[in-house]
Amino acid sequence: MRANQDIEYESVQISCSYSKRADYLGYRAFGLVAMRITTASASLAVLLSVLAFGETAAGTVSGHVQVEDNKALSNIIVYLESANGTRTGQVHAKRRVSQKGREFAPDRVVLVQGGEVAFVNDEEKEIDHNVFSLSEVRQFDIGLAQRGSVNEVTFPEAGEVKYYCSVHKNMEGVVVVVPTPYFAHVDDSGRFRIENVPPGDWVIKAYVAHHRYVSEPFPVSVSDAPLDGLVVAVVKKKRGK
């Protein structure tokens, strides 16, 4: 290259102007691609909303949870209950809980009322387990479960079901049974968002894992317009309750 300075100079000039041109073309090409992506995602969004809502409109319910004295509580679930007691939109999902390594996993399951949990003894060694609950909502005892066994337990009533293993005292878990599929986990900043809620009258409630706190339910009327900025109060339980 150094043999001919002029040629090198010229080639630099050429490549320089070429690269400017290429940049310009690239920019334009990028712009066009970006436009195409935007158009594609816009049509996708329209398609998705049509798929999600189908022929019946559905609403979004969102807001935040306000805990008394701003106490930091984790594992709060906000959910909707039908105002007239009908059970809408039941999804009888089956959840699986492993017992491997002498622990229930996941040890916290949210289940829609009527659903079931399969407790699986998937230990690698011959270790027997058991699952029992003395909760008000659902009492059960699956007896001694050998390695490889699967025991399904249904949860017909809503509420909190704490359960244990009679063989291993440190094993415990909880099934939170909610009345409808319209629930959301509250995030670290206290916010929640429940989507695809059928229009109608609902009562908004919260499940609070801390036994000294309880939510203050209130009615909400859902339409196809988003219901935003709701404040769900979580307060200390009154004495004697």
Residues that bind Cu ion (CB under 5 A): 129, 165, 167-168, 171
Q: Which residues of 39-75 are buried (b: 16+ CB within 10 A; e: fewer)?
A: eeeeeeeeeeeeeeeeeeebbebbbbbebeeeeebee
Q: Which is nearer to Cu ion, 58 or 167 (CB)?
A: 167
CB 75 within 8 A of CB 241: no
H or E stretch including 20? helix 5-53
Residue of minimal CB distance from Cu ion?
A: 165
Q: Is 13 helix (H, G, I), strand (E, B) or coil?
A: helix
CB of 134 to Cu ion, least distance (A): 16
CB of 129 to Cu ion, least distance (A): 4
Six-digit token string for 233: 């109060």
Report d(CA 177, CA 31) in Å as an integer. Answer: 50
Q: Please check whether residue 125 is in contact with residue 107, taking contact to mean a CB–CB distance below 8 angstroms.
A: no
97 or 186: CB nearest Cu ion: 97
Closer to Cu ion at the Cβ: 60 or 151? 151
Minimum CB distance to Cu ion, residue 137 (Å) = 22
Min CB(168)–Cu ion separation in Å:
4
Looking at beta carbons only, is 127 or 230 nearer to Cu ion?
Answer: 127
